[in-house]
Amino acid sequence: MGEKVYEKPTLEQLRKELKRENNKKEYRRVLRNTLIVVVVVAAFAVLVSSFFITVLKVTGDSMTPTLETGQIVIAQNSSSFEPGELIAFYYNNKVLVKRVLGSPGDKINIDSDGNVTVNGIALDEPYASEKSLEPTDISFPYQVPENRYFVLGDHRSASIDSRSSVVGCVTKEQLIGKVIFRVFPFDSFGTIK
C-alpha cells in the first residue's frame, strides 16, 4: 500500500488562500453593516410615519378641485387646526380629508346658496366648487361643540361632511393631522392650500 504524500503549499498558494479568507470576512462585515443600516432606517421610517407624518391616497370627489382621486398627500400629525386648513381624520374605518371651517365654540351658518359665515363673518372660499347647503340634516346657525371641528369638503354638492349628522363634527380622537403636502402626481408636487 502506498503512503499518501502531502506537499507543502507554496508561498503563493498561501497568499491566495489568505486573501480569499480575508475577502470572505470583509464580505460578511459589509453585509452585516448593510443589514443593520437597512433595519435602522426602516425602524426610523416607521417611527416617523407613526408619530409625525401619515401618507394618504386620496379617493373620491369631495375635495375637488383641491385634491383629486389618486393623488398621494402627507398629513402632519397635529391636534390643533386653523380655519381653512385641510385635515385628515378617521371615520368608520376610513380616512377622510376635509377643510376645517369651524373650531370649538364657533357659530356656523350656511345660507341656501351654500355661502358660509363663521361667527357672523362671511368666508371667502376660492377653493370651494359647487357651493351647496345640501346634503344637510342639521339646522343652521349651528354652534360647534367643545373639542370638535366643523369640516366641509371643497366640492360641496358631492361631500358628506359636518352638514350631515352621519359624519358630524370631528372629535379630537378622530384626528390624524393637517394635510400639508402633495407628493404625487409629480406635476402637482408641493404644498397644499
**Assigned C-alpha cell, 38:** 437597512
List the end-to-end C-alpha distance of the chain, in Å, as a whole number: 93
Phi and psi dihedrals of 153, rounded to 5? -80, 160
Distance between CA atoms of residues 84 and 103, nearest Å:
11
Distance between CA atoms of residues 41 and 39, nearest Å:
6
**Assigned C-alpha cell, 152:** 366641509
Which is catalytic among the residues 62, 129, 132, 159? 62
Q: Which residues are 90's β-sheet partners?
A: 95
Which is catalytic among the residues 8, 80, 98, 178? 98
Q: How far is CA 112 from CA 115, 118, 139, 140, in A?
A: 8, 15, 12, 10
62 an active-site residue? Answer: yes
Phi and psi dihedrals of 181, rounded to 5? -150, 140
Q: How far is CA 121 from CA 101, 102, 104, 125, in A?
A: 12, 12, 16, 12
98 an active-site residue? Answer: yes
**Assigned C-alpha cell, 5:** 504524500
Positions annotated as catalytic residues are 62, 98
